[in-house]
């Protein structure tokens, strides 16, 4: 019995140390990124202990990177046009994530790994093989991304004002 109690104590202590280390790491890595231009073809978005709200209107969206640590929000790509070769978003989520809003006609391929992930909540419709493809790569540790075709506000019946 003492061995089990000691193992549980060590496990809880390890978890606590991991959480402290992750918060220190995120605070040290916190950087202020100049807001990305909505017309930019590549993005570099960061939400560390902060919210993320970005709406892309790119004419040849190629992808980029999104990092969320103890934060998250919404990345809206409905007004973006994918590059003819597709796009790749590199996602890193540590106790964070968000909502990825894409047109209903886009194909989305996910290669996100970790304790967390990505879920596609769009209606199950047949998308043509030649439809634009957005590839998601990266890691999600105790976080992840949801894929929808409408912002969360609209899905819950809230009025969106410009």
Please, what's the largest Cα pairwise distance for the chain? 64
Q: What is the pLDDT of residues 114-133, one digit of tens each?
A: 888 788 888 888 888 788 89
pTM of this prediction? 0.72
Measured from the Cβ of residue 139, the count of other Cβ atoms closer than 10 Å reads 16
Domains of the chain by residue range: 1-30, 36-155
Residue 122 token pair: 């769009």
* pLDDT of amino acid 161: 45
Q: Give per-residue burial for 23-41: e unless 16+ CB within 10 Å, then b.
A: eeebeeeeeeeeeeeeeeb
Say what the pLDDT of residue 155 is. 54
Contact 52, 74 (CB under 8 A): yes
Rounded distance, CA 57 to CA 78, Å? 8
pLDDT lower than 50: segments of the chain: 32, 34, 159-162
pLDDT value of residue 158: 55
């Amino acid at each position: 019995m003492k061995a089990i109690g000691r193992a549980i104590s060590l496990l809880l202590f390890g978890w606590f140390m991991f959480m402290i280390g992750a918060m220190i790491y995120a605070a040290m890595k916190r950087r202020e990124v100049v807001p990305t231009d909505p017309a930019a073809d590549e993005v570099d978005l960061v939400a560390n202990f902060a919210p993320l709200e970005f709406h892309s209107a790119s004419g040849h969206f190629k992808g980029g990177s999104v990092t969320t640590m103890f934060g998250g929000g919404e990345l809206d790509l409905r007004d973006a046009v994918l590059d003819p070769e597709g796009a790749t978003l590199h996602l890193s989520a540590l106790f964070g994530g968000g909502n990825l809003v894409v047109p209903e006609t886009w194909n989305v391929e996910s290669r996100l790994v970790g304790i967390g992930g990505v879920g596609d909540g769009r209606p199950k419709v047949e998308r043509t093989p030649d439809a634009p493809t957005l590839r998601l790569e990266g890691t999600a540790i105790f976080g992840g991304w949801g894929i929808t075709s409408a912002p969360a506000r609209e899905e819950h019946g809230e009025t969106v004002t410009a």
